[in-house]
């Protein structure tokens, strides 16, 4: 069993997402974490999950494995991923485990770990857990087994934390929010956060049945929220994904505001308040309009590889506090330790309050360049997909396009981490330029893949 860039994930019932593997993973994690416990950190692991029906099975298997290794377990129930990160810190636990496949369909599920600091588990510990899985199962004797119990007030603790990140000099009183919880992990706690801060909240995506998570709702399907905003007359729309670590927002007129625009608002507000530290970090897929808007206002902009783990690494290395992805992962490290869609939404709402401007006005400061991506199937290629971009014809086509676009556009050739495809992206000042160069690059990649 191998950890990917965001833990272990896959289709339930297929390796590695089987009951036997989850039992082995829990027991291996328990052994490693118990060995690392030093008295200051208890042999205690928290487990939270989203609303997928498979969560019951996986939770039980992990619980049994951890207890067999002598680790105490605290079951949190359905809660957002960032809630488990927060509670891991406040419980002084050895680790927190999240059972979720984030924005994926219900038939997938996954496991990710947080360390005692509320951040993603370090690579060394993940490697030790992988090695322990291969050593097989071992059960402690009865005198040294762990114990388990449920934490009944977990949601309430997290709600209070989220509210504490909203500035005391601001209020949501008089604001009408349309909120889409994706039938996911935040279906109970997210509405309460905004309501208790004074907002009128119209909700959707708050009736999970185990199989409808992310199904036509949430941040990956924002059209439903865009319609709800217009029909309800809301001032703003907020869309979360299944585990509530991704955020998209919608203006009062029903227009989508994506992760790049939200990052721009958050960064410029920190600069205005004198609270910005280090660079603003996006990814290689962040819109060129974001980079230009950030640098034109005197801030430093850096790009990381795709994935919030890599954004986090750049922020930590360079002392930054704000970063994110176009998909809506936003890291506010001056407020919490991981991507948190509710905290990020409150951050944007605070900027609206303090500037007395609506979302559309704040987002308008960042022009968005047209960008289009085509996935090219390279399954039959005679060499690895990572080598496609280095093929002479592809290099020549890319260099020609880059020369034609100059600083007003970008070419991105990115092999997928999970599929046999190469993603070909062209970004330029006009849609005409995108339409001119994208087919040429796609043809070059297709020809290279055919040999």
Check whether 37 has a pLDDT greater than 80. no
Question: What sign has the CA pseudo-torsion 14, 17, 18, 21?
Answer: positive
User: Would you state the structure tokens that stand for residue 143, as one six-digit string?
Assistant: 């005198």
User: Which residues are CB-contacts of 141 (< 8 A; sequence separation ≥ 6)?
Assistant: none
Cβ(321)–Cβ(277) below 8 Å: yes
Position 325 pLDDT exceeds 70: yes
pLDDT value of position 156: 98
154 vs 419: CA distance, rounded Å: 37
What is the phi-psi region of residue 336: left when phi exceeds 0, alpha when psi lies from -120 to 50, beta otherwise?
Answer: beta
Does 44 score more than 60 pLDDT? yes
Which of 225-234, 300-309, 340-349 bottoms out in mean pLDDT, i.e. has the lowest? 300-309
Q: Is 432 exposed, middle or buried (CB count within 10 Å of its CB: 0-12, 13-18, 19+)? A: exposed
Q: How far apart are CA 148 and CA 190, in angstroms?
A: 27
The burial class, CB within 10 Å (0-12 / 13-18 / 19+), for 337 is buried
Confidence band of 249 (pLDDT split at 50, 70, 90): very high
* Euclidean distance between CA atoms 318 and 308, whole angstroms: 15
How far apart are the C-alpha atoms of 52 and 54, rounded to whole Å?
5
Comparing CA positions, the residue from 125, 120, 110, 9 lying closest to residue 417 is 9
Q: What contacts 139, CB < 8 A, 6 or more positions away?
A: 27, 68, 145
| Confidence class for position 418, pLDDT limits 50, 70, 90 | low
Question: Of 54, 94, 100, 102, which residue is the catalytic one?
Answer: 102
Parallel, antiparallel or unpaired: strands 322-324 and 280-283: parallel
pLDDT for 4: 73
- Evaluate if residue 40 carries a pLDDT over 70: no
Above pLDDT 90, what percent of the chain?
Answer: 87
The first and second tokens of residue 252, run together, are 């009062």
What is the distance between the alpha carbons of residues 80 and 183, in angstroms, rounded to a whole number?
12
pLDDT digits (tens, 9 = 90+) for 113-146: 999 999 998 889 999 999 999 998 999 999 999 9
For the ranges 219-223, 276-280, 404-408, the lowest mean pLDDT is seen at: 404-408
Predicted local confidence at residue 109, as pLDDT:
97
Contact 172, 198 (CB under 8 A): yes
441 vs 5, which has greater pLDDT?
441
Residue 200 neighbours by CB under 8 Å, 6+ apart: 175, 176, 177
For residue 110, give every residue at least 6 positions away whose Cβ sits within 8 Å of its Cβ, in sequence order, or none. Answer: 6, 7, 8, 9, 10, 17, 99, 100, 101, 102, 104
pLDDT of residue 41: 57
Residue 3 confidence (pLDDT):
81
Could you give the CA distance from residue 374 to residue 371 in angstroms, rounded to a whole number?
10
What is the per-residue pLDDT across 363-399, written as a single tens digit (0 to 9) for each? Answer: 999 999 999 999 999 887 767 778 888 999 999 999 9
Q: In this structure, what is the dihedral angle of CA atoms 403, 407, 409, 412, given to the nearest 10 degrees?
A: 70
The DSSP result for 81-106, as a single string, is: HHHHHHHHHHTT-SEEEEE--TTS-T
| H or E element that contains 349 | helix 341-355
What is the overall mean pLDDT for the chain?
94
- Tokens 């909203």: give the residue: 166
CB-based contact 333:281 (threshold 8 Å):
no
Full set of structural domains in the chain with CATH = 8-157 (3.40.120.10), 173-256 (3.40.120.10), 258-341+349-363 (3.40.120.10), 371-450 (3.30.310.50)
Reading the block at residue 419, the tokens are 């599929």
End-to-end CA distance of the chain: 33
Contact 108, 11 (CB under 8 A): yes
The per-residue pLDDT for range 57-89, each reduced to its tens digit, is 999 999 999 999 999 999 999 999 999 999 999
- Interval 195-244: pLDDT, tens: 999 999 999 999 999 999 999 999 999 999 999 999 999 999 999 999 99
Residue 136: per-residue pLDDT: 87
In this predicted structure, the answer to whether residue 39 has a pLDDT above a threshold of 60 is no
The pLDDT of residue 450 is above 90: no
pLDDT for 389:
87
Residue 102 annotated as catalytic = yes
The Cα–Cα gap between 67 and 30 comes to 8
* pLDDT for the residue numbered 85: 97
- Is the backbone of residue 92 left (phi > 0), alpha (psi -120 to 50) or beta? left
């Amino acid at each position: 069993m191998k950890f990917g860039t965001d833990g272990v994930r896959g289709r339930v019932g297929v390796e590695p997402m089987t009951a036997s593997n989850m039992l082995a993973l829990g027991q291996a994690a328990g052994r490693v974490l118990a060995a690392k416990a030093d008295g200051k950190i208890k042999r205690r692991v928290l487990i939270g999950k989203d609303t997928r029906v498979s969560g019951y099975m996986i939770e039980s298997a992990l619980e049994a494995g951890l207890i067999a290794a002598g680790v105490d377990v605290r079951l949190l129930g359905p809660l957002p991923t960032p809630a488990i990160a927060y509670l891991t810190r406040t419980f002084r636990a050895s680790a927190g485990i999240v059972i979720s496949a984030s924005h994926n369909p219900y038939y997938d599920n996954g496991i990710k770990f947080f360390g005692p600091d509320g951040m993603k588990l370090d690579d060394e510990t993940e490697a030790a857990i992988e090695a322990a899985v291969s050593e097989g199962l071992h059960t402690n004797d009865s005198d040294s087994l762990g114990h388990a119990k449920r934490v009944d007030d977990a949601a309430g603790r997290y709600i209070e934390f989220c509210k504490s990140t909203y500035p005391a000099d601001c209020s949501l009183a008089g604001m009408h929010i349309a909120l889409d919880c994706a039938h996911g992990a935040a279906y109970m706690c997210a509405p309460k956060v905004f309501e208790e801060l004074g907002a009128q909240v119209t909700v959707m995506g708050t009736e999970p049945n185990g199989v409808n998570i992310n199904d036509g709702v949430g941040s990956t399907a924002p059209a439903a929220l865009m319609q709800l905003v217009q029909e309800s007359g809301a001032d703003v729309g907020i869309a979360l994904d299944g585990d509530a670590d991704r955020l998209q927002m919608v203006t009062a007129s029903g227009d989508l505001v994506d992760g790049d625009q939200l990052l721009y608002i958050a960064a410029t507000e920190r600069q205005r308040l004198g609270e910005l530290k280090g660079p603003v970090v996006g990814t290689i897929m962040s819109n060129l309009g974001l980079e230009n808007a950030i640098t034109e206002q005197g801030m430093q902009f850096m790009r990381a590889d795709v994935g919030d783990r890599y954004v986090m690494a750049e922020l930590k290395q360079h002392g930054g506090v704000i970063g994110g992805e176009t998909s809506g992962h936003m890291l506010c490290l001056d407020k919490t330790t991981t991507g948190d869609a509710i905290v990020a939404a409150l951050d944007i709402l605070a900027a609206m309050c303090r500037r007395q401007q609506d979302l559309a006005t704040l987002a308008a400061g960042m022009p968005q360049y047209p960008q289009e991506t085509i996935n090219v199937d390279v399954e039959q290629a005679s060499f690895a997909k990572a080598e496609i971009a280095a093929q002479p014809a592809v290099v020549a086509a890319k260099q020609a396009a880059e020369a034609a676009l100059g600083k007003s556009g970008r070419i991105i050739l990115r092999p997928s981490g999970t599929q046999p495809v190469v993603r070909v992206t062209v970004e330029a000042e006009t849609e005409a330029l995108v339409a001119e160069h994208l087919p040429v690059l796609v043809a070059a990649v297709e020809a290279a893949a055919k040999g």
